[in-house]
Structure 1
Amino acid sequence: MNSRELVYKTLNFDNPERAPRQKWVLPWANNHYPEELAKLHEDYPDDFDGAPGYYAEKDISEGDPTDIGESTDAWGCKFLNYQKGIIGEVKEPLIQDEEWKDVNNIHIPREWLTIDKEKINEFCKNSDKFVFGGCCPRPFEQLQFIRGTENLFIDLMLRPQGLLDFMGKMHEFYCELLTKWAETDVDGLSFMDDWGSQKSLLINPSIWEELFKPMYKDYIDIAHSHGKKIFMHSDGYILDIYPHLVELGLDAINSQLFCMPMDELVKFKGKITFWGEIDRQNLLPYGSTEEIKDAVKLVKNNLWDNGGCIAQCEFGPGAKPENVKQVFETWNELFK
């Protein structure tokens, strides 16, 4: 069974021989533990890959967002970073006007639509891994970059027409982008938004349901109408939106499982695939290898249902390489 088949069996709850693997490696890990990381890749190769877009046009982004200094994203947002290996913050939002009358400051990166489908299909043909498309809509987060987090929260309450109009344009662009990728031979699409604080959603769940759930429904429907699987990432405590994501038919969710009660998460066992993860706030940087073993067993024992779990964790700031290794070693042992 190759990696692609393994992932499909996992997503379809079809009794795969093991949990598929995926390492999320931040530049920090490359900078601090290059030898350990190379060994990790050798011993526990990923079952996933991402297709390049082979774009005909370059977007307006400049600089490396993980380097110290300034960088600009494809929408024109300028980030300032003080620590190498992670991404900085936007200090001067593009939208300063409360009615969004300066909306022309925003560049919608239509360059992303200039993908070369033939080259992407060739890439997929030559891979035996589960291949993700090279796009990832993030409407809530991009709105924060554009407007600033505090200002956006106010806008979501007051609903200036300029905000609503731009959200419509952004969503239309994201749908067009996902459709372009769905028309290629990739296996899966993805989108993301960090919705959770440590103990709750960042906004009232009713606002999420009114404004953002319909967007996500469109993303999921686009994927499924083209025969693709679709994945989502969201940090923090997001238990409030889990039932909605299951209802919408999302195939897999990457969330911080250890920010939420396991006895609540187990209710979704067999209904959605848990795309990782293992606690990167406490266990990966500070835990022992025995505690890592226990954490992986907790996830497997509670959430595996003839599939429905992916052996994923993030090798990011503070994580001990021996703990990241232990995550994948333990997942392997549980299927012997």
Structure 2
Amino acid sequence: MDKMWAEGRSVFQKGNIMTGRERVINCIKHLETDRIPHYIELGSEELEKMRQFTGISNYQNTLDNDIDMVGIDGGYTEATNKPGYFTDAFGVCWNRNGVDKDIGVIDSCILCGPEDLKSYSFPQIKEEQVREKLKQLSENGRDTFKAASISFSMFERAWTLCGMENLLVFMIEEPEFVHELLGKICDYNCRLIQIALEYDIDGICLGDDWGQQKGMIMGPEKWREFIRPQMKRMYHQIKCADKYVIQHSCGDIEAVFEDLVEIGLDVYQTFQPEIYDMADVKRKIGDSLTFWGGISTQTLLPFAAPREVMEVIIRTAGIMKGKGGYILAPTHAVPGDVPAENIEVMAEIFRNQEKYFY
């Protein structure tokens, strides 16, 4: 253990205390920071568990995150005649009565084929609500890195409308339809981005899962054909405003890391240790990308004892910290199956890195 701590210390450098915003921006620029920037987001079940465990009603605020992020893409409205069912801004009905209480699974398809797109109307952006969220974010009084988030930003939005299997088949059999659909989704997102860029924020996070546990859902070739052109449009819009681009994708997307750097990506989230050889990826592309994640919500936090959680966090920091480029975080919003004790030890290390890393 002492050896591991020493190895962790060797990659850190103390300096003047930075604000969260300064820390994250220096990190993205691959400059040294006073400590590793960190971020913890708890899912609704886990957040309630921590409130009960600690007796602190505003527990999320005690985590001292270096990043504040708010979603601007619509959200859900409960369907009053079907308890547990929710309808999103695009008209897709979600069933949350199963295992996934935070998102759910789609109940039925809206676009069953190319002909349905002709009659489908994209939702009107609720601009007043979006602007109020952005105003609160930009004026919250905290010296944090502030990001607006658009989830289901491309592939995910398309498959929620069509169905996953249908969309993958359409990529082969109806490519013109897929290009048209993704283009319309991008148009919608670009308007959201345009609104967000009017506010004093630092970046935009685009959420869109492309990966499986091994490899990409649609494969890198189809990703380059259909997804890359639309992501490039959005990245370009963000970069032209001198803001940072953050891309969330679960799963193995290493095959397109270089594509993402080429079109302007700054930060990749989420970096899953059960998928990536972290040291190898850091060595190969760590000078070009900042990686966000590394602390597994899949295999570590739900099952390990607190001592192991501590050891893995210290070891991960030692691998990833060199030359900036790393945001210390769980690999996803923490689900409800994680013991409260593991959240507490993770939060303690994140907040008090000088006790563990230096």
Q: Shorter-chain-normalised TM-score: which range?
A: 0.7 to 0.9
Instruction: Tell me how far 1:139 sits from its aligned partner.
Output: 0.9
Q: 1:61 to 1:106 in 2, by over 3 A?
A: farther
Please report the TM-score for the alignment, with normalisation by the length of structure 2. Answer: 0.82
Aligned length: 328
**Alignment pair present for 1:319 and 2:338:** yes
Match of 2:323 in 1: 306
Distance in 2, matches of 1:42 and 1:137, equals 26
Q: 1:62 to 1:287 in 2, by over 3 A?
A: same
**Alignment pair present for 1:4 and 2:21:** yes
Residues 269, 304 of structure 1: 8 Å contact kept: no
Instruction: Tell me how far 1:186 sits from its aligned partner.
Output: 0.9
Please report the TM-score for the alignment, with normalisation by the length of structure 1. Answer: 0.87
Distance in 1, matches of 2:42 and 2:188, equals 29
**Alignment pair present for 1:205 and 2:220:** yes
SS in 2 for 1:127: coil
Residues 194, 234 of structure 1: 8 Å contact kept: yes
Deviates more, 1:107-116 or 1:166-175: 107-116
Residues 292, 326 of structure 1: 8 Å contact kept: yes
Structure with larger RCO (C-alpha < 8 A, sep 6+) = 2
Q: 1:9 to 1:192 in 2, by over 3 A?
A: same
Instruction: Tell me how far 1:119 sits from its aligned partner.
Output: 8.3
Q: 1:68 to 1:294 in 2, by over 3 A?
A: farther
SS in 1 for 2:206: strand
Instruction: Tell me how far 1:43 sits from its aligned partner.
Output: 5.0
Match of 2:35 in 1: 18
Match of 1:110 in 2: 124
SS in 2 for 1:274: strand
Q: CA RMSD in A?
A: 2.7
Q: 1:51 to 1:149 in 2, by over 3 A?
A: closer
Distance in 1, matches of 2:46 and 2:227, equals 33
Distance in 2, matches of 1:183 and 1:89, equals 34
Distance in 2, matches of 1:204 and 1:2, equals 40
Distance in 2, matches of 1:105 and 1:26, equals 36
Question: Please, which of 221, 230, 248 is the counterpart of residue 236 of structure 2?
Answer: 221
Match of 1:28 in 2: 45
Q: 1:118 to 1:140 in 2, by over 3 A?
A: closer
Distance in 2, matches of 1:115 and 1:80, equals 25
Instruction: Tell me how far 1:271 sits from its aligned partner.
Output: 1.7
Question: Please, which of 268, 274, 287 is the counterpart of residue 258 of structure 1?
Answer: 274
Distance in 2, matches of 1:334 and 1:129, equals 23
Match of 1:48 in 2: 67
Question: Please, which of 343, 348, 358 is the counterpart of residue 329 of structure 1?
Answer: 348
Match of 1:133 in 2: 148
Deviates more, 1:71-80 or 1:272-281: 272-281
The letter of the residue matching 2:281 is L
Identity rate, percent: 24
Distance in 2, matches of 1:82 and 1:237, equals 29
**Alignment pair present for 1:86 and 2:102:** yes
**Structure 1 unaligned runs (5+)?**
none
**Structure 2 unaligned runs (5+)?**
1-17
Q: 1:162 to 1:270 in 2, by over 3 A?
A: closer
After superposition, give the CA deviation of every residue in 1:55-91 in whole Å (9 maximum; x if it has no partner): 9xxx694218xx9621100000011121473221112
After superposition, give the CA deviation of every residue in 1:27-75 in whole Å (9 maximum; x if it has no partner): 111333323464864653112223586x9xxx694218xx962110000
After superposition, give the CA deviation of every residue in 1:164-193 in whole Å (9 maximum; x if it has no partner): 222221112212221221232111111011
Distance in 2, matches of 1:137 and 1:181, equals 17
Q: 1:155 to 1:129 in 2, by over 3 A?
A: same
The letter of the residue matching 1:49 is D
SS in 2 for 1:299: helix
Deviates more, 1:226-235 or 1:171-180: 171-180
Residues 273, 296 of structure 2: 8 Å contact kept: yes
Residues 170, 177 of structure 2: 8 Å contact kept: no
Q: Trace 1:161-176 onto structure 2 (pairs within 5 A).
A: 161-176=176-191
Q: 1:42 to 1:222 in 2, by over 3 A?
A: closer
Distance in 2, matches of 1:89 and 1:122, equals 30
Match of 2:260 in 1: 245
The letter of the residue matching 2:249 is S
Deviates more, 1:34-43 or 1:21-30: 34-43
After superposition, give the CA deviation of every residue in 1:98-152 in whole Å (9 maximum; x if it has no partner): xx21125644233244567598457524332211125345110111110001111
